[in-house]
Amino acid sequence: MPRELMLETATGAFALCPYELPPLQPEDVRIRIELATVKHGTESHAWSGAVNRGRRWDPRLRLFLDPPRDDRDAQGAAVAALPGRASNEAGASATGALPPLVAVGNMAVGVVEQSGAAVADFRPGDRVYGYMPVRETHQAPAADLRLRHLPDRLSSDAAVCVDPAHVAFVAVRDGKVRLDDSVAVFGLGAIGLLTVQAALAAGAERVIAVDPLPGRRERAVRLGAADAFDPTAGDVGVAIKEATGGRGVDVARETSGTDRAMQEAIRCIMQCGTVVAVGWASGPGTALYLGEEFHVNRPTLVASQCASFWGNPDRDYPLWDEPRAQLACAELFCRGSLHAVLDPIVTLDEARCAPCARTRAPCSRWASVSDRTRRRGGWRGSRLEPDRSRPRRDTRDTRRSSDKETRRGSY
């Protein structure tokens, strides 16, 4: 019987649980998973049980509303799909309530084992990637998985990074980075590290990275950032102004969803610069002051959102839409303009401990692998004295597992 990684919401522990596959339906594909990843920041926000403060989304009004008191019990029993998830088998309810077990996972790469009679585009033996949870074998209608063929030029590690790369790609476009601009990126998880790379690919002359974890800062420098600052070591707004000759950056992107980082993003830009809010903020925002620099320097504040789940077209629609943007991200990986940011990679059996260890890991994602375990990290990062050595970009490709092995990773 195949196994899948689940979160026990009562205890916060992760468990490997057996499951049965249903009979194959005409629209279904059955896929043996080789590499599966978790979108750590997004999913841990959902795991907290406090998604949207327990409020429900009204797509007609485009407002989050408190559910009617009489409907709360009924809504609590209705499990809603998470953004980016292919099915509604697990996730937060409309009121923020969580079921006892929640499936985890964002994207996966695998091999088609069976396809239903109505499936024309995918046949047994095809290597594919799409939105799938962390499990050994997955079955669903192909359209629900947004499944794509895996080209030879695209590595498995890069394929499962297409989703966070799409977020970074849209954030760079929303911020309208131009040739020779300077850019600051706050938060160096998967999306932050990919934003560093995407800004450089868009023509930014200088990218400054900000994160409290030294390994993440070092990784950003390896990927092309000119400077990397620890925001806990001093006044990072002043540090960025000094690093840019007192001018500030043209565009700041905040990917962590923290109010303190948003405040420093506002403080570090040049007069009339642009601040792009990428992370899903939570909490009361007590560290955010909409006076001071916000009022005096007149920033343009842009909320970047790429998920079709929320009914948001691309700002350049119809010239750009979600399928075109995701294919463009895959091509950027193929060309070497973007590099995968999986770290660490573990076996499925080790995955129960990986999310806990992940909070101490230096980089951005964790993955389940074959019987080999590859870990990167241990770099010495800078504090408010940035590393300006500009080492060669990290372009290492990764080894693929055999067809019989399941890998799991994290951004």
> In the prediction, which pLDDT does 239 show?
97
pLDDT band at residue 97 under the 50/70/90 scheme:
low
119 within some domain: no
Residue 285 within a domain: yes
Given this model, what pLDDT does residue 344 score? Answer: 80
Is 157 inside a domain boundary?
no
pLDDT digits (tens, 9 = 90+) for 147-163: 999 999 999 999 999 99
- What average pLDDT score do residues 206-217 get? 97
Can you give the pLDDT at residue 86? Answer: 36
Tens digit of each residue's pLDDT (9 = 90 or more) over 32-67: 999 999 887 777 766 665 667 778 889 999 998 987
Span 248-265, pLDDT tens digits: 999 999 999 999 999 999
Reply yes or no on whether the pLDDT at 362 is more than 50: no
3-state SS, residue 317: coil
Q: Please state, in angstroms and rounded to a whole number, the distance separating the CA atoms of residues 404 and 391.
A: 37
Q: Which residue range is the domain that position 180 belongs to?
A: 164-335
Residue 268: enclosing H or E segment and its boundaries?
A: helix 259-268
Report yes or no on 295 lying in a domain. Answer: yes
Res. 236: pLDDT tops 50? yes
Q: Are 79 and 88 in contact (CB under 8 A)?
A: yes
Q: Is the pLDDT of residue 366 over 70?
A: no
pLDDT tens digit sequence for 167-194:
999 999 999 999 999 999 999 999 999 9
Q: What is the CATH number of the domain that holds 217?
A: 3.40.50.720
Residue 30 has pLDDT above 70, yes or no: yes
- Whether residue 354 is contained in a domain is answered as no
Q: What b-and-e string marks burial along 300-333, b requiring 16 or more CB atoms within 10 Å of the CB?
A: eebebbbeeeeebebeeeeebebeebbeebbebb
Domain count, the chain: 1
Q: What is the secondary structure of 200-235 as a DSSP string? A: HHTT-SEEEEE-S-HHHHHHHHHTT-SEEE-TTSS-
Calculate the CA 8 to chain-centre distance. 22
pLDDT at 168: 97
**Choice among 214-218, 301-305, 311-315 with the minimum mean pLDDT:** 311-315
**Is residue 208 a contact partner of residue 229, using CB atoms and an 8 Å limit?**
yes
- Cβ-based neighbours of 233, under 8 Å, separated by 6 or more: 383, 384
Q: How confident is the model at residue 91 (pLDDT cuts 50, 70, 90)?
A: very low
Phi, psi of 351 (to 5 degrees): -65, -20
Selected residue with higher pLDDT from 303 and 92? 303
Summary mean pLDDT of the chain: 81
Encoded tokens for 176: 């309208």
Q: Has residue 326 been placed in a domain? A: yes
Q: What percent of the chain has pLDDT over 90?
A: 60
> pLDDT at position 313, please?
87
Give residue 45's pLDDT. 67
Residue-wise pLDDT for 267-289, tens only, equals 999 999 999 999 888 778 889 99
Distance CA 56, CA 53 (A): 9
- Tell me what pLDDT residue 78 has: 36
Mean pLDDT of 389-400: 39
> What count of other Cβ atoms lies within 10 Å of the Cβ of residue 101?
15
Flag whether 313 is in a domain: yes
Can you give the pTM of this predicted structure? 0.81
Residue 278 forms part of a structural domain: yes
**Quick check: 226 and 206 in contact, CB under 8 A?**
yes
- Lay out the sheet containing 3-8: strands in order across: 13-18, 3-8, 101-103
Is 142 in contact with 123 (CB distance < 8 Å)?
no
